[in-house]
Structure 1
């Protein structure tokens, strides 16, 4: 059986979508004659914890750990709440305090490529022996944090392993890079490291066609797209909400703020008494203050239910109960290739998806091809309102269904089959 070492920062009990990609690959790799061995930090600083995911780790999988030093622990002395938000990727560009500005500058310019950089050297020293001991031929690094790719880079120099990089998100083109107050020198350093990793790796995995196109301008190495996916049974196994519930499952960070949607909902409430009577906006996860301010500005506060963070199991439950599922991305060119991991679980729930994002958003093609909903830009107020009203009328007739949804190709087992073929060497 071919052994593969997977180097990842996020692993149960970490919560959120980042942990699930490789947790699910590990779950199915043995079905394709590949034995996964996992390397993770011993004392990580996870912004979200979901203990329910611990039970999903396959029995018998060998896991190696090494302590990690993270400067976020030191930064908490100054502001525990703000440090946790920055660690989780919540960067509010409005009304930043002096402490926030200083922390962002330090994060962006002193910790390149990221604050987990201090794990690189001890990990390399440790894993050289593990690779020899376990007779490992292939190493996979997954980021962010992209510092983990530098572990793979050094291991390739010191051993005879074949190295594959997995980019769950882009590196230098991701939206929050612009908010890190990077100096010109820091921007150049990130670009240099990105180019080095892409050209030294043997193969590259990305989660979107947009990222593949971007990376193809930097390297000639083989690149394949393996999206995220779902690992549940299809269909709706729970009773739907009695209310016309529109739910967003997952964090709504700064910038994911479609004013046109809030306005459309506000107008529907004012124009249709039956809509006002039945409508409920349900938000699960961390919601940034600017998004909440906009929702409340349009008079939606009394219709809004904040669930806070929910476990993965509960998230699946809410998805299947909701009448409509809301998917929102920041309106920018940089986010056109961002495909949120939850979109595939949304698809599997077989509830209509209403997507709001940038022009030429890759998610729009996925949703259209799978017959699982509709997507609009931030400017399409009229179209948004028309679709919502149509779905509401179907809801009243108990006819709001997706009989033609085609999503089986995104099951985690199918995606792992694709990964196993990419891992093969002639």
Structure 2
């Protein structure tokens, strides 16, 4: 059996969404002749922790790393035991001077990202393993895009082919919006990105928008880019049964919601609906930017809103199944929220917001699962538009990760066969 070293900063017990692909690879790639070895970290202070069961079926290499967020917590006056959310670390809303300074340092001095402290421990740990064990291929999962630099270093050092998976853009990832990065930082970041693209034998992207973007930006990427949608795990839905309240209808947003994804027009209509007598409740899972929470207060929705925070993944899926409506906010045209595919699998109607998000619009239309609106559209009854929504469950099955892993395995085989 061929051996593949999978580099992923996020892996259980971390509950970050980025860990789902490497976890599913570890489970299913052996069915296609690949034995995964996972390289990851011990623990980080931003990720919530979740028990994902027995992971001992695969070789897992764990390392320490220099965690900049531990220093960040001390710098802004947080105690070590206090939680630190992802939305909080990139928001300027009501930020103190120390928070704004910390954010500038993160955006300009940590290149390509704040996880660069994993570079040397990861290279050392993997090098010691590779010297004693044959590895046929290296696959990197980013962000954090520091992971790709680690993979490139190991690939060149041991002359092992590299495949890079991009879940989000690198140099202009969406959470850089509204933040200033100096020209030297951006120049160096582009250089590092280009070197990874040029060195990779294959590249996997989770949206067509990303494939198009990288193929245009780097001609070297055009012939080695592959689209693999984020997808969903069918097994994770086993045993879940829909349970709904008879007293009110629930709108669920699952996942992080940043300040630049704040659909104020929707909050306004939601308030109008409730004021007219409709019984509706908003339920958030994950973290929300300060501006989002301020809007909820601004429109008088705080008594109709629940903040559930982090939930174990199975409970997140249960909330998605139970929802009367599902809400999703797209960051930009190259972005598809990972939760879209779990939303599709649930069969519940979706209200999505995004500007120039044609790819999301097509997916919703082809599966007849919901509608996409601009953040600035007014005068629309979002709920009335959903009356004719009847999701095509058979169409949605093509986004099952079991099917997508087959496509990845074929591409990995082609690297060694060339």
Q: TM-score, normalised on structure 2?
A: 0.91
1:260 paired residue number: 265
In the TM superposition, what is the alpha-carbon distance from 1:241 to its structure 2 partner?
A: 3.1
Matched, 1:144 2:139: no
1:132–1:247 Cα change, 3 Å: same
1:139–1:163 Cα contact (<8 Å) kept: yes
Unmatched 5+ residue regions in structure 1? none
Q: Provide the rounded CA distance (Å) in 2 between the counterparts of 1:297 and 1:178.
A: 23
Local SS of the residue matching 1:77: helix
In the TM superposition, what is the alpha-carbon distance from 1:109 to its structure 2 partner?
A: 2.3
* Cα-to-partner distance string for 1:122-143 (whole Å, 9 max, x where unaligned): 3223323322422111001111
1:340 paired residue number: 337
Matched, 1:378 2:375: yes
2:231 paired residue number: 229
Q: Provide the rounded CA distance (Å) in 2 between the counterparts of 1:195 and 1:368.
A: 35
2:306 paired residue number: 305
Matched, 1:70 2:67: yes
1:388 paired residue number: 383
Local SS of the residue matching 1:424: helix
Moved more, 208-217 or 228-237: 228-237
1:56–1:21 Cα change, 3 Å: farther
Q: Provide the rounded CA distance (Å) in 2 between the counterparts of 1:404 and 1:127.
A: 42
Q: Provide the rounded CA distance (Å) in 1 between the counterparts of 2:389 and 2:194.
A: 48
Q: Among residues 231, 241, 244, which one is paired with 1:240 in the alignment?
A: 244
* Number of corresponding residues: 407
Q: Provide the rounded CA distance (Å) in 2 between the counterparts of 1:402 and 1:337.
A: 24
1:14–1:46 Cα contact (<8 Å) kept: no
1:126 paired residue number: 125
In the TM superposition, what is the alpha-carbon distance from 1:306 to its structure 2 partner?
A: 1.9
1:329 paired residue number: 330
1:206–1:226 Cα contact (<8 Å) kept: yes
Local SS of the residue matching 1:319: helix
Local SS of the residue matching 1:255: helix
Unmatched 5+ residue regions in structure 2? none
1:219–1:80 Cα change, 3 Å: farther
In the TM superposition, what is the alpha-carbon distance from 1:71 to its structure 2 partner?
A: 2.5
* Cα-to-partner distance string for 1:215-267 (whole Å, 9 max, x where unaligned): 11214240001111111367972223322111111222212211111122222
* Cα-to-partner distance string for 1:260-288 (whole Å, 9 max, x where unaligned): 11122222233x42x2xx21111112122
Moved more, 2-11 or 130-139: 130-139
Q: Among residues 261, 270, 274, which one is paired with 1:269 in the alignment?
A: 274
Counting only pairs closer than 5 Å after superposition, residues 283-322 of structure 1 correspond to structure 2 as 283-322=284-323
1:47 paired residue number: 46
1:379–1:87 Cα change, 3 Å: closer
Moved more, 15-24 or 342-351: 15-24
Moved more, 128-137 or 19-28: 128-137
Q: Provide the rounded CA distance (Å) in 1 between the counterparts of 2:310 and 2:162.
A: 35
Q: Provide the rounded CA distance (Å) in 1 between the counterparts of 2:320 and 2:49.
A: 17
In the TM superposition, what is the alpha-carbon distance from 1:89 to its structure 2 partner?
A: 6.6
Matched, 1:14 2:14: yes
1:357 paired residue number: 354
Moved more, 68-77 or 246-255: 68-77
* Cα-to-partner distance string for 1:277-322 (whole Å, 9 max, x where unaligned): x211111121222112212222222221221221111100000111
* Cα-to-partner distance string for 1:40-67 (whole Å, 9 max, x where unaligned): 123x314132323x2163x420111222
1:81–1:412 Cα change, 3 Å: farther
Local SS of the residue matching 1:367: helix
2:88–2:289 Cα contact (<8 Å) kept: no
2:412 paired residue number: 423
In the TM superposition, what is the alpha-carbon distance from 1:84 to its structure 2 partner?
A: 6.4
